[in-house]
Amino acid sequence: MSPELKAGLRGQFRYTVPANKTVPHLYPELAEFREMPEVFATGFLVGLMEGACQLVIKPYLDWPREQSVGTHVDFSHLAATPPGLTVTVESEVIAVDGRKVTFRARAHDGHDLISEGTHERMVIDAARFAQRLQGKRAAAAGG
């Protein structure tokens, strides 16, 4: 992790919402979702916000050896966005505490502010993380 990873770093990411990122496509196993309006799903919005934050810090990591995983999200979903609109996410690092990086982020669809809030990510060593996951898989499989 570079010592240049610090508060004040900013980024912007644009994403045009496709039809397959609407509520009916979020967990299609749930009939209730399939019956809902075709608007950008909160679950996909949260993923977009996380991804935009990750992109801000990626240049300051020894990628792919170092990566980051989301550990906390606190985002509102303020307005519906139909497919075809472009969402712009602006994110800023507001704190770095060891391996924990905290962000403030907001998203706009060209008409409305659709989300704002905070997000935390933890910088990880990808190999060690994969080892721990393998151990968890083995334990779950009874081995």
> Which of the residues are catalytic?
42, 50, 77
Q: Contact, 85 vs 16, CB < 8 A?
A: yes
Q: Contact, 17 vs 83, CB < 8 A?
A: yes
Q: Contact, 109 vs 87, CB < 8 A?
A: yes
What is the residue type of 135? G
DSSP assignment of 11-70 equals EEEEEEPPGGGBGGGSSTT-HHHHTS-SSB-HHHHHHHHHHHHHHHHGGGS-TTTEEEEE
At 127 the three-state DSSP class reads: helix
Sign (positive/negative) of CA torsion 40, 46, 52, 58? Answer: negative
